[in-house]
Amino acid sequence: MDLPKRTAPKPPEADAEAAVRAYVLEDQIGFRLRKAHQRATEIFNDVMGTFDVTPTQFAALAKLDDTGPISQNQLGRLVAMDPATIFGVVGRLMKRGLVRQEVDENDARLVLIALTPEGAAAVKAMKAVAAEVSRRTLAPLSPREAETLLKLIAKLG
């Protein structure tokens, strides 16, 4: 049995006007997260610039280094990328010779993504300095504040 769809009650006109007046863009979570992301990306580019990788490419390489060969779908899930994004990331990494496709020896229908020897060497060099991105991004916070922030953001996503 289908229940009738409910619509949210409309606030009285005075309440709507008050809400509009009270809205401050700079106080909104999305705005603040975007600014923090922009800062983190700028720091990433500064620290990791010599490697010529994007944050999403680095995430894929780092996770492949952690897991070993894995399906593109699974890699995308592990690094929180939708199928179209991970497809593009893997394609660009393949063109650079950092990853390759290989057939799963246990299931010939499954294609895995794996680091090439060049990719493995590159990601090790990247990981050696990557923690600096987080250190610099979180530098304005005390260690306790940084720990709390990371825990709270993890709850959101």
Whether 144 maps to a domain, the answer reads yes
Regions of the chain where pLDDT drops below 50: none
Residue 47: predicted pLDDT? 97
Q: How many CB atoms lie within 10 A of CB 61?
A: 25
Whether 11 maps to a domain, the answer reads no
Residue 4: predicted pLDDT? 60
Whether 65 maps to a domain, the answer reads yes
Residue 11: predicted pLDDT? 59
Residue 10: predicted pLDDT? 64
Single-letter code of the amino acid located at 152: L
Q: Which residues of 32-106 form beta strands (DSSP E)? A: 70-71, 99-104
Q: How many residues comprise the chain?
A: 157
Residue 90: predicted pLDDT? 97
Structural domain total, the chain: 1
Whether 135 maps to a domain, the answer reads yes
